[in-house]
Structure formats: C-alpha cells, structure tokens
Chains A and B, each alone.
Chain A
Amino acid sequence: MSVPGFSGLNKFLLLFALLFLLLPYGWAKEAAPIAEDPEIERRMIALSEDLRCLVCQNESLAGSRADFANDLRREIREQMKANKSDKEIVDFLVARYGDFVLYRPPMKPTTILLWFGPFVFLIIGAIILVVYLKRRRKQIEEPMLSEQQRKQAEALLEESKGNNA
C-alpha cells in the first residue's frame, strides 16, 4: 500500500513521528498504591502474618499471592476501615474457616495434646536422662575389684616380680 505524494523518506519520517505519538501509551502503568491508609496496611499485615492462607496452607495470609489470600486481605482491610478490632476480625474468619486459619491454635479441650504434648515429652526425656545418669554414677562408684580380689592381684604381682628377679 502506498500513499500518493509520499516518497520513501517521507514515509519513514511519518512512521517515526507516529511512533513518538504512540510513546505515552507504551509507558507502563505506575503501581497502584496498595492501600490509601498505611496505618491500616500495617495492621492488616501484622494480623495476617498469624493467619493461614487456606489455599496454599503453608503460607501466611500476609505472604501469599493467591487470589483467595488477596480477597481475604481486602476483607480484613475493609473491616479495619469499619473500625473492627483485630479480635473481631479474627473471630469473623474463624467463624467461617475454623481454627485452621490460625497459626496459633486456641487452647481448647481438643488442642490440649497439641499445646502440652511437647512438654510431656520433655518431662519423659528428663526422667529417662536422670535415671540413666544415676545408674551410670552407681556403676562408676562401685569399685571394680573387691578387697579380697585386690589382695589376690597384689599377691600375683609380687609373685611375678620375684620370678623375674
């Protein structure tokens, strides 16, 4: 396709000018501010660090890039803007997703083993250690030879000395 009245050079210049005209559209969008209120953002991140992202499970809600985590962060942000306390927000999430969203499980009859199990094992370990050490000390304290055996040994040594001389 050629435009009448344009030489090769003119065409080139026209294209060049068009390129500049399009330049502003090529610029990347500036990153949108995450939240208008940095205070809320700080609170939201602090709170969501202790919450589990249910989709990715081993990531916190604060660190997850999953779409689902994004939605929950939005929800937390909105509730904070509505002046809800951290506890109210956590209760809201627990009511819908269960204790599993919490990285720190609450103390309940069903979680007693979880909370105190490690201490029970620690105590069992300590008892085994003490018993073992006591038994070992007794073994060391017990003389290896009885008085009679010692005398016998001495006599044998004396005897061998006499023989060598």
Chain B
Amino acid sequence: MRFLLPLIAFIVLVGFLLVGLNLNPRQVPSPLIGKPAPEFQLEELHASDKTLTSKDNLGKVWLLNVWASWCVSCREEHPLLVELSKAGIVPVYGLNYKDERDLALQWLRQFGDPYVASARDPEGRTGIEYGVYGVPETYVIDKNGVIRYKQIGPVTVDALQNKILPLVKELQG
C-alpha cells in the first residue's frame, strides 16, 4: 500500500510522456479547416500574362500544393503528385512559394509537372493567408471553395490513400 500510490502516479506520468513523445509538434492543427480558402489573384508560373485566382475552381474539388524549387522535401512527394495527376482523379494546382521563376520552371522540367497550373507567390504573402509555414503543404478544397484538409509536410502514400483520396471521393460524390 505504501508503494502503490507512488507507483500509480508514476505510471500515469509515463503514460502522459509516452503520448507526448508520439505527438508530432509539427502537426499544428490549422484553424482554416472548414473555412473558405483565402482569396488570391496571382500570376501563372508558365505564362506571366495569365492570372490564377482562388475562384477559378469553384464547383470543383481540387488540391492546392504549396511547393518551391528550394524545398527539399518537395522532391520526396513529387513523384506521388505526378502519379496522382496522371490518374486524373483530382486537379492539382501549385502555389509556387517564395521561388524564382527560372528555378521553378527548371525544377518542373527536371522532375515533371503535375500541376494544372501554378500560381506564383514570390513574397510569400498568399502563403501567410493560407497559414503556410512548412513547405510542402497541401490543401484539399471542396466545390464551395472551403478548405477541408491540410497536409503539412510531404504527401505520403499513407496520407494519400487513407485521407486525401477518400476525402476527395466523398466531396466529389
């Protein structure tokens, strides 16, 4: 009995620490989920005379992928995005974040271009509107232009199969 109470307290503490260890401090829940996607009106990467706006895709479910040529983990997810775009399940748009046009275009030539179009955000202002802090980030936006999901960090096979694609199907349905 004398040791029971401290033992219980210890086990409870270990339980808390274990849960804490397995939480990812990078997974900051976005307050933007369930809110309308912030509006933007940006230059298109391939054609600077064209503008892309957040409203272009109203009525469609689409993905907005924040990427940059300087972003190392973007390379990690890129083949998946290319595959996804080939499968034609959902249109993927890019937000080319704090990048230089030439480098960005070269990067797409090198690794493939999965994007229907990429909007240029050279100063990261649209990024701030979307609460971007760790590139890559991917947003699932529904037909009404509402953000439904945010993937922080590279899109993984697991996230794609278990979260993004089921959600896209549900939203398209």
Contacts and interface: CB of A to CB of B under 8 A. Distances in A.
A85 to B, nearest CB: 19
A113 B54 CA distance: 39
A71 B25 CA distance: 22
Given A54-B133, A55-B133, A67-B98, A95 B124 contact: no
A71 B29 contact: no
Interface stretch (A11-19, A32-40, A96-104, A142-150): A96-104
Given A54-B133, A54-B134, A57-B25, A71 B128 contact: yes
Interface string A23-67: 000000000000000000000000000000011010000000001
Interface in A80-103: 94-100
Contact of A55 (B30, B129, B134): B134
B150 to A, nearest CB: 11
Interface residues of A, number: 15
B98 A97 contact: no
B25 A96 contact: no
B123 interface: yes
B59 interface: no
Contacts of A72: 128
B1 interface: no
Contacts of A57: 25
B28 A96 contact: no
Interface residues of B, number: 17
Contacts of A154: none
A32 to B, nearest CB: 17
B31 A97 contact: yes
Task: Classify the interface of chain A: helix, strand, loop or mixed.
Answer: helix
A5 B131 CA distance: 68
Contacts of B128: 71-72, 75, 96
B131 A97 contact: yes
A98 B29 contact: yes
A55 B26 CA distance: 8
A78 to B, nearest CB: 10
Nearest to A78: B125
Nearest to B135: A68
Contacts of A68: 124, 133
Interface of B: 25, 28-32, 98, 123-125, 127-131, 133-134
Leading 9 A-B pairs by shortest Cβ distance:
A96-B131, A54-B133, A98-B31, A100-B28, A71-B124, A97-B131, A75-B128, A55-B133, A68-B133
